[in-house]
Each structure stands twice: as structure tokens, then as C-alpha cells.
Amino acid sequence: MKIVAVLNHKGGVGKTTFTGCTAQSLALSGFRVLAVDNDSQHNLSTMLGAGVCSPGIRDVYLAQPDDAPRCLLESVRKTCLTNLHIVAACRELCDADAGDPMRLRGAFDACGLDRFYDFILIDNAPGLDRLQGAAALACSEIFVPTELKQFAVNGIAEMEKMIALRYPQAGRITRIIPNFYRATRRQNAYIAALNSLFPGRVTATAIPVDAVFDELVVEGKILFLHRLSSRAAAYYIKLIHELFTLSEEDIWQKVKQQQHERLASEARGRLLEINRRRRLAAA
């Protein structure tokens, strides 16, 4: 089982979109995935259809050490994808809740989640305080989505130093994902700077700017089911192949099959509803 914390102490870099799309693509590829929303804005919970519910991640932090594993298991919610579950967040979640930064890691270990999941992905708010520290301590790797600006490049180097200083037992930054890519000369210069600072850790695949991401949030749709022909979906599948050393062709085939089955099921559901209304109107 691989546990990944998605971190960047800068906001607006696409962490939640990255976490949600990655979780969905892995689940559609046949892997068992648990997403953990560690952000009081609870956008990942909304994106994956769980909303704000209790118990959730805040209850895990506030539970007594012996009760935290049970609370974690009780917090797991299903999503509309068979292989994807989520532990939701709430607006009351705050840094003070994570009084023991090892609580989340201890709960993961005690639950034996490797029996149930292949991947755990932890979404985080901007910053590097106790909540983010708990995620860093619970993970085996840290993925850093980033925009391509000078402050963002400098911030990743500073964040890596801060993690090593504050949380020496934490997972390390293994992958940096360029986001909002427009293929400008300046952005390419920033990618070159990232590769110089973090050799071997910057993904060759950069996620392009695409309005489809906003459409998915507004419409409550899933990128790989409802916008599979989009440029965004193609780049995300390339990215998943790169991040997790999976066959790109296998991912495409599995996702296409899931899309076909899901759309066929939705069409049957619409037809049944039309027939039901007709029968009611005729009665």
C-alpha cells in the first residue's frame, strides 16, 4: 500500500483537483483507493460526493489514542465509484485539533489499511502546520503540485527544508507536478529551474490549463467518465502512468470500459424513469 500526502504550503496550486482526479483514475483502473480530506474547506469531500458528514477526519484527531482507529474506520464513506472511499472533512477542522501529529499515522497502522486499499491519498490545506505535519508523518511519499512562478519554485525548496526540520520522520518529497501549464517560454524556464533544484523528481507531464476542471466541479461530473475525450483527461492518464509506473494503454482500456458501463447504466436509469413517469401519467 502506498500512502501519498499532497502538499504545498502555497494556496491555489491545484492540490484538491489533483488529489480527486488521481484518486478517481486509480479507482477506475481497478485499484482500491482511500481519499482523506485533511482541509477544513472540505472541497475534496464535495468533489467526491461525500459532502460534510460525521464522523470524519476531525473526529479521528480528537479521539483518544485507543479509539482513533475505530473512529477512522467509522469515518470511511463510499463514493459513486466502487473502488473509491473517502474520509471527509468539516469546516470546524483546525490546526489545534491535531494536538498529536502522530495520531493519523497511528490510526492508519492500527487499522491495517493495507488489507483494504492499494493507495491512500491525503489532500491538505495550504501551509505547513500541525494538520499538514500529521499528513506528512502518516505518508510514505509527498507529491507537490505547483504553479509555474518564481515564488512557487522558491517555496518548494523552503518547504522541503521545513519538513525535514520539523518532522524528521515524515515522508519525503518524491514528485513535483507542474500545473496550469501554458507552454510559455517563462513557464518552461521555471520547469528547467525545478529540474535543476530537484533532479529526477519533476514529472515530465505538466497538467495544462483547461476549463474542463471548473466544469466538472460545477456539474458534479467525473473527468474520466464524462470528459474522457478532453485534453485534460489525456494528460492526467499520462501523469498517472508516470507517477505510479502503470501501463498507459492498460489505464486507457480500463477507464474506457468503466466509462462504457457507467454511461450505459445511466442511460438505463433515465429510460426507466421516463417509463415510470409515463405510467404515472396514464394512471
pLDDT in tens, 122-131: 999 999 999 9
Half-sphere exposure of 24 (CA within 13 A, CB side): 28
Per residue in 81-132, pLDDT (tens digit) is: 989 999 999 999 999 999 999 999 999 999 999 999 999 999 999 999 999 9
- In DSSP terms, which residues pair with 145 in a beta bridge? 177
Q: Are 17 and 213 in contact (CB under 8 A)?
A: yes
Q: Quote the crossing angle between the two packed helices 103-111 and 68-75, to the nearest 10°.
A: 80
Q: How far apart are CA 144 and CA 219, in angstroms?
A: 27
- Mean pLDDT across 157-165: 94
| Residue-averaged pLDDT of the chain | 93
Between the two ends of the chain, the Cα-to-Cα distance in Å is 55
Check residues 158 and 264 and name the one with the higher pLDDT: 158
What is the percent of the chain where pLDDT is above 70?
100
Q: Quote the crossing angle between the two packed helices 212-219 and 231-244, to the nearest 10°.
A: 90
What is the per-residue pLDDT for 245? 92
Decide: helix, strand or coil at residue 117: coil
Instruction: Evaluate the omega torsion of the peptide bond into residue 55 and state whether it is cis, within 30 degrees of 0.
Output: yes
Burial of residue 174 (number of CB atoms within 10 Å: 0-12, 13-18, 19+): middle
Per CATH, domain 2-248 is 3.40.50.300:
yes
In order of 33, 109, 119, 127, 171, the CA distances from 114 in angstroms are 10, 9, 8, 28, 17
